[in-house]
Amino acid sequence: MQQALTLGLTGWSIGLVLVFLVKDFFPRRVVLEPFNALVLGGIIVVVCLLASGLGVRAALRVEPAEALGG
């Protein structure tokens, strides 16, 4: 779960920085308010937790001997 959260928040951070760097080069402007950016970050956290939770759940159902190839 830590890896999923780290990847999700790193992607969100890089995306946010890129948006602020390139927003002035486009003919139409879309305003990204801080509240919207935080809501997007929250959605990313929820999706990362759900996705990694499903992966952990699936991994816990496998027998250790089967996972090791025995």
Q: pLDDT tens digits, residue range 38-54? A: 999 999 999 999 999 99
Nearest to 5 by CA among 52, 56, 58, 39: 52
Residue 30 has pLDDT above 80, yes or no: no
**How many domains are there within the chain?**
1
| Residues spanned by the domain of 58 | 2-67
Stated pTM of the model: 0.77
Listed residue (15, 47, 9) closest to 32, CA to CA:
15
Amino acid type, 4: A
